[in-house]
Amino acid sequence: MAVGKDTAEEVAVEMIKPRNDTRNYKRIILPNSLQVLLISDPDTDKCAASMNVGVGSFSDPDGLEGIAHFLEHMLFYASEKYPLEDSYSTYISENGGRTNAYTSSEHTNYFFDVNADGFDEALDRFAQFFIKPLMSSDATTREIKAVDSEHQKNLLSDAWRINQLQKHLSAEGHPYHKFSTGSWDTLEVRPKARGIHTRDELLKFYKENYSANIMNLVVYAKESLDKIESSVLSKFQEIRNIDRSKLSFPGQPCSDHLQVIVKTVPIKRSHKLRVTWPITPGIHHYMEGPSRYLGHLIGHEGEGSLFYILKKLGWASSLSAGESDWTLDFSFFKVVIDLTDAGHENVEHIVGLLFKYILLLQQSGVSKWIFDELSAICETTFHYQDKTPPIDYVVKCSSNMQLYPARDWLVGSSLPSNFTPTVIQSMLNELTPNNVRIFWESTNFEGHTDQTEPWYGTAYSVEKITGSIIQEWMDKAPNEKLHLPSPNVFIPTDLSIKNVQEKVDVPVMLRKSSYSRLWYKPDTTFSTPKAYVKLDFYCPFGGNSPEANVLTDISTRLLMDYLNEYAYDAQVAGLYYAISHTDSGFQVTVTGYSHKLKILLETVIEKITTFEVKPDRFYVIKELVAKQYENFKFQQPYQQAMYYCSLLLKDLSWPWNDELEVLSVLKPEDLSRYYPQIMSRTFIECYAAGNIEPTEAESMIQHVENVLFKGPKPLSQPLFPSQQLANRIVNLEKGVKYCYTKEGLNPSDDNSALLHYIQVHQDDFKLNIKLQLVALIAKQPAFHQLRSVEQLGYITVLMQRNDSGIRGVQFIIQSTVKGPKHIDSRVQAFLKMFESKLYEMPDNEFKSNVNALIEMKLEKHKNLREESSYFWREIQDGTLKFDRKEYEVAALKQLTKAELIEFFDQHIKAGAPQKKALSVQVYATTHSTENTSDEGDSNMVNIDDVFGFRRSRPLYGSFKGGIGHVKL
């Protein structure tokens, strides 16, 4: 059809979509050449949209590094149609939604979701980003500071530092070489010194690059496709189309920087090897999947794999392989290896083994059965994929629209089906010694480098390596038997849906014994051949001291380590397991396709039962744990504040430095002695859900009981009633503000952080909804005032907090410009400002916020994992209020504005009589002079001794040990 001024052109296309996908799709092109994908989902609670603009940081003009990213920030402020600053974000928040954006090298993606009732106006506000945004001078200056704060947050991040170093060692004339985040220096100081006005350049960049013909929009809504189309046409056809040419950045940026080994010093204590080859982008052959095939083999962890050998030698703790940092014009294949201390001493052997494995692939030829197996796994994964939140789905689809033909917008590159050995061989031929770049990170290189990367200050040195040198390394490498993987026995062949008779909406308790309790929830919603099983082992001796905590942690890591070769195939086939340390013992989680889940679970239980300490693996794990403890000091200050808050509130928690001290003297025999004690008394809380029959669930748990408790030599016995312990939470005193102040652990970090926590109550329906509503209403105003207006820091968050059923709210702010004491005073000032907003709120606005919260609570779970996590939280906390939502919705419908104000006045506002506050302040060296106590505040109590404080305060009771219920 011809495209008229007020009509859209429908472009017929049959998109590949999952077999179980009931949503309707339509592709249209607006008169301004904007390409749109419409998605109609009558069952959705949330509606969403994403706009992918085909311009990114590669288009930054020289001398204005970061302007594309800066523009991304600026579009959120205001528009000609909606001129009130921050009204877009406020509207999204008040309608139960969220919004964000990101800038990559070749595109910028903006996205949001909201409750269905608020979607039409939200979409109109969103459209104005691309029609007539207002970028005021005042907002421009403030947001440059926000961009700079984001950059300051990244300065001591090893991931950002190594990424920029790889870019630095490339052709200076290529956009890949650029610094892309932006900073005060690049967006204010340097332009001003050259007589350039950043705002003028910002407007120019927007005008010259933001054109409808290089944009791709995805809109996901409840309405019919025709209604969505009409709405989109009316809102987005005004976007200018200047027929901007599609951007291209030809040329390989690293051709003059090959055959190098770059030694660099990370911030955290670690050794890491990144072996990188520039390659032809795999996206041009996405149906042949060359990088997927090679990544699968080089990154394999089963017997005979490269990682299997490196682990056996004690040289590596993890390995990943695959294509990354790709564009349409160039790409990289990377192998990233986390090294042990011993591995750091044997890097030449490791590189030699890597190239020996690549040689094995060359000699073996491209294998059809391996490709077919991968293709079958990909097909099953695609057709039985979990439904994701609409906001994630629209971002994926809009990104795909820039890269793939319309028929593949939903699938992207995830269904390789064309077996073409020459394509795979061609990429394999690029993985040569002559084409390699090796980045070797180690704190051991400190003081042994001679160059500095200019943006992040990363120390490094460069040495040339030749093909003959790598050949020598191959010749000297250990003569280990590398071989290709065997066929995967975990690929599911039975994907049928079981017909469970008992249709229940919430978990029911199937059985209880002195050994365990089993909760069961069949899949009545998702019709997917997947299951979710969790076993929580309550072990009184598993965390009753720093030594016990560390030894339990090491034992769970060793169990994962022992199972890795066996279970890796299961992971590849979509069946996942985890054994994780908890405050009171450990958890086993198995999730994925139900067909062979029982086999994997029984193997995990067998390993737990027959556990033995292998000294060589013990020392590898001990080294890994020690590095994690030692690197705690390099955590972001806001993360340190969160840690201190938990340490102050949780009765059974141990400081990391105590555990590090204990760890240093531990030996394998200590764990050999201790493991039987950990397991000697236990109770297992079990949850089984999904495509699993009740008899199967009971059979699984019966097997666990038989193996652990009823064998010839039982490993475990039931708990005594006196051992039914739970981690309880400190009850703060009403009318008191506690303050805990600590210097940041990294003297080089200029960021300070504040965590201002207000503890409110133990789990209670009526109080819960009042707290949630205050948090919903205050969230965006807090962000706008403290971040956008006052520019305290890029990380500015107001969020709810739930510690084992103890509810509260917390402000988290990280800043280089102000110390935590000042930030805390600004939080208090905000609460006074918000007090007025709440008092003066019109009744219709109050009702709108109540309805938004109701819609958020009624939002359906998207998939089995999401549903299971929700119900498991009730089981884990001991609250067992599985029908919580309907009670809280009923309470919300009865709530009055006066009741909300009374709650705020009693618990939240400055000086509230029942307010229980804790201010955790982590200050940088640059803010140490501000660190003085508030002598004049009679309600302030400074905490000098964490454990003295914990001993001095009463604890909330625990919900643990209740018999549970389906209906309250």
Return the amino acid letter for 127.
Answer: A
Q: At which residue do the structure tokens 């795979």 appear? A: 424
Contact indicator for 583, 540 with CB cutoff of 8 Å = no
Inter-axis angle of helices 119-127 and 225-236, nearest 10: 30
Catalytic residue among 65, 72, 659, 790, which?
72
The question of whether 14 is a catalytic residue gets the answer: no
Cα–Cα distance for residue pair 408/406, rounded to 1 Å: 5
Catalytic residue among 65, 85, 94, 143, which?
143
Contact indicator for 131, 158 with CB cutoff of 8 Å = no
Q: HSE, CB side, 13 Å, CA atoms: give it for residue 690.
A: 27
| Beta-ladder partners of 531 | 592, 690
* Joined tokens for residue 704: 């666990």
* Joined tokens for residue 949: 């404080």
Query: How many C-beta atoms lie closer than 10 Å to residue 396's C-beta?
Result: 16
Total residues found in the chain within this entry: 968
774, with CB counted inside 10 A (0-12, 13-18, 19+), is buried
CA torsion 401-403-407-413 (nearest 10°) is -120
| Beta-ladder partners of 587 | 536, 580
896, with CB counted inside 10 A (0-12, 13-18, 19+), is exposed
Q: Is the dihedral of CA 871, 875, 879, 880 positive or negative?
A: positive
- Residue 273 phi/psi, 5-degree rounding, is -120, 125
Strand ranges (E), 243-380 = 260-264, 271-279, 316-324, 331-339
Contact indicator for 541, 681 with CB cutoff of 8 Å = yes
Contact indicator for 197, 294 with CB cutoff of 8 Å = no
Cα–Cα distance for residue pair 186/179, rounded to 1 Å: 9
Strand ranges (E), 409-474 = 437-442, 451-452, 459-464
Cα–Cα distance for residue pair 927/749, rounded to 1 Å: 11
Return the amino acid letter for 576.
Answer: Y
- Residue 10 phi/psi, 5-degree rounding, is -85, 130
Q: Which distant-in-sequence residues (6+ apart) come within 8 Å of 39 by Cβ?
A: 23, 24, 25, 218, 219, 220, 221, 228, 393, 394, 397
The question of whether 188 is a catalytic residue gets the answer: no
Q: At which residue do the structure tokens 């944009």 appear? A: 215
User: 3-state SS string over 815-877?
Assistant: ECCCCHHHHHHHHHHHHHHHHHHHHCCCHHHHHHHHHHHHHHHHCCCCCHHHHHHHHHHHHHH
Q: At which residue do the structure tokens 């907003």 appear? A: 837
Q: Provide the annotated active-site residues.
A: 72, 143
